[in-house]
Structure 1
């Protein structure tokens, strides 16, 4: 299956990925790296997968996992995917772009979610979110120090709480479970 077909299949409603919350996307180092690569000019799925894999190495999880994250970003509205224009060469790939207007809305939602957690007094989740955001953004360019930070965060109590909140769909909900670690 070509990268274009995999992307479209994975971004369909039948896919188990679904749309992710702005918090889940912006605290996922792989998603943040994909957005950074798009901002630096990659447009085809194969370019994107190759550059993200180069930057993150084994941390990227392989081409299929990177492609699944691209599909997640499309389903969540952070990235727009458009088919090649009619008359394009056989095998032409889907064109990807950052959905600027939608991304601004999603970033606003991210700020609101963090503020809601803060306003509710859920200090632990607020700090976990800040740590996760900083970790994801530090790793986006693939520098070794940023990748070490990802491993350290994932192994920490805060990282495990964060991962459980993402898995349970409670990320950003004040008073969500796992406060005790």
Structure 2
């Protein structure tokens, strides 16, 4: 009897079971929310219950004015450089919540390298670290190579923008231009 031949008696049921299990596994790996639709102007900002790099709660409230979302390291580095160049307390003053999706990073790399570096930054970063957190940010639009910036007004999205460059981010947030050096 050849176990690889589905025509042999008894093997059809085994193949059907295997195929059913495979289809179920693929279906379960799809996004957790079938109703996820990208946020647009006028949308209510979803509730985020994430922790920052210091393991403190980082939440978007009705008082939050800006949400910056990144899911790629080079983009995150650009956003961090812009915010780090500002005086201490920039996130609080601007009512800004910076959210970074680092869920794709291996746990060992996160613990040994990323978190220690992130803890040196003078502003909080809400971290999407686990698959369970992904559903919370599923509605935030993403563009490869860009940060998503949401301007909020009383918990509703007033503007959705994507920025690729530090100068674009400074302009959008109303921050002063970076001084040029000669």
Shorter-chain TM-score range: under 0.3
Tell me the TM-score normalized by structure 2: 0.26
TM-score, length-normalised on structure 1? Answer: 0.26
Higher helix proportion (structure 1 or 2): 1
Q: Which has the higher contact order (CA 8 A, sep 6+)?
A: 2
Structure whose CA Rg is larger? 2
**Which is strand-richer, 1 or 2?**
2
